[in-house]
Amino acid sequence: MHIGFLSPEYVLPGQYDGGLANYIHKVAHALCSRGHRVTVFVLSNKDRCWTDGQVKIVEVKSVQTLPIKFPEKAATAIDNWLHAYYQIRSSRRMAHFVWKEHRVDPFNILQTSSYEVPGFALRKNGRIPLVCRISSYTPVLRSAYGRQRTLAEYISDWLEIRQVIDADAAFSPSLFSSSLYERLEGIKPDLIRTPIDFVKLEPDVSLYEEELSGIRYLLFFGTMSKMKGVDLIAGAIPGILISHPDIHFVFVGRDDGMPKGKKMTDLILSKNRDQENHIHFVPAIPKAQLYPIIAHAVAVLMPSRVDNYPNACLEAQMLGIPVIGSRDSSLDEMIEDGKTGFLIENGNSSNLCESVTKLLNLDEIEYHKMKQANLDRFSSLTQEDLLKQLIDYYSAVILRFNEKH
């Protein structure tokens, strides 16, 4: 079948971060390996078409400016108020490119992300079934970031929820996000786990050997934000170092900052002025460089307030590394407390400190047993053909759509 993905992000040259980008990159290539054709429409700063291996990439220039020019300060304020306007116009541009491609090589199905509503203009189109993959329930996500919603954000959230409701089918990779929609919106998205089809990479150990070789460290990787609980790690560092003064802390990824604009890096350092030599920051890097850093970590810290069956947790478990994550965040669907890692109370920095200390106090036999449990869990996941489940799901949606139309 010919499958179209609609997304605000993809793994573009020089851009390696973004869970959604990496998810689509991985699934698109995996679908091509099963003989399907895949076209990815991604919002960008330009219109262009190219190929990423077997995957066709159509970059669609997003709309981020008003047709009328305003003074700089006024324009900034108007942009904040009218973000929904940009989303709708960008989705219409994306729909234009989808129909243009469809005339040449018809699509069997389209999958849109809920995030940034790239498929909003294709709801109820009557010609191609539209499936919406839920990235999150955004009102709860904004709360986890610690922000108060603006009027524009209320409108954007309504657009996202409407896209989920109006799609021909909607699914979530986690029970957590699905249950939020069921409880708060009265719809129950299907549960389709993220396919476990990691590409084997030739590891690039140069960065690890240059920056981190020879030290024991705990690792966070991903987007540094309050939602991901990075502020909780910052608060736990002093207590951890009291009992384990040899341990270091490594943060890999983009700094999204705190709600009022303070950088996460500044927050971490401000809470740990006397321990700056134990803290290391690395920007977003390619997977070939990231995996050796994960593989040498004592544990990965993922105290997210909200998450959605994150790929990062799977990557850590794939390499046998214990993960410390939060309850009531979807990570409790991935971590077996005390066996593959530890679960902490959501939003509790003291509990994070206690759990890290507990992990660091494991003897060698207990620790290696935990690592093996992660390897075993990942191996069992790979025995499930989750990609086939996604393909079968597409087929069922197409069948229902054809019967209806």
pLDDT tens digit string along 338-348? Answer: 999 999 999 99
pLDDT at 339: 98
- Residues 20-51 have pLDDT tens digits of 888 899 899 999 999 999 999 999 999 999 99
More confident: 50 or 84: 50
Residues 398, 343 within the same domain: no
The burial class, CB within 10 Å (0-12 / 13-18 / 19+), for 260 is exposed
CATH of the domain at 31: 3.40.50.2000
pLDDT at 271 over 90: yes
Q: How many CB atoms lie within 10 A of CB 349?
A: 19
Q: Is 320 within a domain?
A: yes
d(CA 81, CA 347): 30
Query: What interhelical angle do 19-33 and 311-318 show, nearest 10?
Result: 70
What would you report as the CA-atom Rg of the chain, rounded to the nearest whole angstrom? 22
Please answer whether residues 246 and 213 qualify as being in contact, where contact means their C-beta atoms are separated by less than 8 angstroms.
no
pLDDT at 355: 98
Residues 370, 250 within the same domain: yes
Q: If you average pLDDT over residues 69-74, what whole number do you get?
A: 54
Write the single-letter amino acid at 168: D
Q: If you average pLDDT over residues 175-204, what whole number do you get?
A: 88
pLDDT at 95: 98
pLDDT at 15: 61
d(CA 75, CA 97): 28
∠ Cα 74 78 84 (to 5°): 170
Q: How many CB atoms lie within 10 A of CB 280?
A: 17
d(CA 329, CA 345): 10
Q: Is 94 within a domain?
A: yes
pLDDT at 197: 61
> Buried b vs exposed e over 217-250: b needs ≥16 C-beta within 10 Å?
bbbbbbbbbbbbbbbbbbbbbebbbeeeeebbbb
Q: Is 201 within a domain?
A: no
Q: Is 29 within a domain?
A: yes
- Residues 190-220 have pLDDT tens digits of 999 988 766 677 899 999 999 999 999 999 9
pLDDT category at 395 given cuts 50, 70, 90 is very high
Q: Is 47 within a domain?
A: yes
Residues 393, 361 within the same domain: no
Residues with Cβ within 8 Å of 221's Cβ and at least 6 positions away in sequence, in order, are: 251, 252, 253, 290, 293, 294, 300, 312
Residues 246, 144 within the same domain: no
| Region of poorest pLDDT, from 160-169, 195-204, 383-392 | 195-204
More confident: 132 or 273: 132
Residues 400, 359 within the same domain: no
Query: What interhelical angle do 151-166 and 83-104 show, nearest 10?
Result: 30
Q: Does the reported pTM lie above 0.95?
A: no
Q: Is 362 within a domain?
A: yes
pLDDT at 158 over 60: yes
Residues 187, 231 within the same domain: no
Domain count, the chain: 2
Q: If you average pLDDT over residues 53-65, what whole number do you get?
A: 89
Residues 165, 272 within the same domain: no
CA atoms 223, 226, 229, 231: torsion sign: positive
d(CA 221, CA 300): 8
Residues 234, 375 within the same domain: yes
pLDDT at 144: 76
Residues 24, 65 within the same domain: yes
Residue 403, CA distances (Å) to 96, 127, 205, 248, 397 in order = 26, 12, 53, 59, 10
Residues 157, 248 within the same domain: no
**Structural domain containing residue 28:** 2-196+385-404
d(CA 312, CA 203): 17
State whether residue 166 is helix, strand or coil: helix
pLDDT category at 16 given cuts 50, 70, 90 is low
Residues 180, 237 within the same domain: no
Which two three-digit tokens encode residue 188?
A: 């129950």
Residues 213, 297 within the same domain: yes
